[in-house]
Amino acid sequence: MNADTIIKDKNAFHLFDNYRGFLASNYPEPFQNFVLNNYAGNYFQSLDFLDLCDGLSNFEPVLILAIDEQENICGSLLSVLQTTGTGLKSWFSRRLMVWGGPLVQKKGHLEIASGLLKSLKKYAGGKAIFVEFRNINDMEILNPVFEKQGFQFQPYLNFLIKTDDEASVMKRMHANRRRKIRKSLKSGAECREANNLDEVSSFYKILENLYKTRVKKPLPEMELFVKLWQSGAGKIFVVLYDKKVVGGAACPVFNQRIIYDWFRCGLRDVAKGVFPAVLAAWAPIQYAIKYHYEHLDFMGAGKPDEPYGVRDFKAHFGGKKVAFGRFITVLNRPMFQLGKLGLKVYQKLHWQI
């Protein structure tokens, strides 16, 4: 059931790389409660995300729990071992990704955070080329722990949209963004939750084409989006015009507090006065307002020292700019360099490596 168990001082670090085995343990409910009540709790460190990843090819979840002497969870770290394609493509793309972790009981529990990182690196050895943490919260207090474990901090921006009420949200937006939302709706476009699998599939096809032709990066398989839509912890929004899906967004939700703009797309030149990409971003914001969520997380806005059109797009929605950054450590430098070269080839030739 456990891939590994490490005893360190008064805490034990239990590693689970088998979802069914984890469900058979005593920890699922305590883990869920730990994340929901944690000051930095988020969807990507939750039982819902663990469930989403289970059974997906090239998307293997790994959970580490820190357990104290009283058998209480005092820390957790959920990561995903990702690969792309098969054969050599898979081998050169092996990475361990973490969004919004680790979680510790209190901000000052540096020893627990250190133990979680050590356990993760031990697991990653021989399995992943690099490990990357994408911070969802301010992790500055853990900087010394990451540095000691060989991670380098990389500046990275994001926007958080406060979703208090529609009038206030609209007021904080750029005038051009308000105009495009209202003009699109007046022109006959609409945005809402997907009603059926066909709409989810239509959204995915647009997203897939976007990633192949413009983003030029690997995209998770459609099954992930179907599972997200079927779960109670995620929403697939679609933008429709003339009864056809012309855009949409895949948005996990957490604890009725936060909604995440994880994947989004919109066709260009659909019709005069219709802006699918803008409505695709507006749909989850509107949902968060309606159900009294705290904010929408735009999930990244690029490096501060590099021009980035996506950042300009997101900035016009009037959110708070934050710089929580990322942490990365390379475990196999030669393979890492070859993987970067392969990504450049993919981006030039539109191959899916």
What tokens were used for 269?
Answer: 């030149």
- 102 & 174 share domain: no
Q: What CATH number corresponds to the domain at position 122?
A: 3.40.630.30
Q: Which domain holds residue 104?
A: 4-156+325-349
Overall average pLDDT of the 82-104 stretch: 76
Spatial contact of 291 and 166, defined as CB atoms under 8 Å apart: no
Spatial contact of 114 and 95, defined as CB atoms under 8 Å apart: no
Q: Would you place residue 7 in the very low, low, confident or very high pLDDT band (cuts 50, 70, 90)?
A: very low
Query: How many residues are given for the chain?
Result: 353
Q: Would you place residue 58 in the very low, low, confident or very high pLDDT band (cuts 50, 70, 90)?
A: confident
- 59 & 72 share domain: yes
- 183 & 107 share domain: no
Omega before residue 304 within 30° of 0, cis: no
CA 205 to chain CA centroid, Å, is 20
Q: Would you place residue 93 in the very low, low, confident or very high pLDDT band (cuts 50, 70, 90)?
A: low
* Residue 4 in this model has a pLDDT that exceeds 60: no
- 198 & 222 share domain: yes
Per-residue pLDDT tens for 159-178? 999 999 999 999 999 999 99
Work out the end-to-end distance of the chain between its first and last CA atoms, rounded to an integer number of angstroms.
32
- 110 & 185 share domain: no
- 306 & 281 share domain: yes
> Per-residue DSSP letters for 115-126?
HHHHHHHHHHTT
Return the pLDDT at 77.
Answer: 98
- 53 & 129 share domain: yes
Alpha helix positions (H), the chain: 19-23, 28-36, 47-53, 87-92, 110-124, 143-148, 166-172, 175-186, 197-210, 222-230, 276-290, 309-315, 333-349
Per-residue pLDDT tens for 121-132? 999 988 888 999
- 14 & 131 share domain: yes
Q: What percent of the chain has pLDDT over 70?
A: 88
Return the pLDDT at 163.
Answer: 98
Average pLDDT for the chain: 90
- 15 & 96 share domain: yes
For the chain, what is the domain count?
2
Overall average pLDDT of the 288-307 stretch: 96
- 133 & 15 share domain: yes
- 72 & 115 share domain: yes
- 107 & 246 share domain: no
Q: Would you place residue 11 in the very low, low, confident or very high pLDDT band (cuts 50, 70, 90)?
A: confident
Report DSSP state, residue 141: G
Q: Mean pLDDT check: name the lowest of 32-36, 218-222, 293-297.
A: 218-222
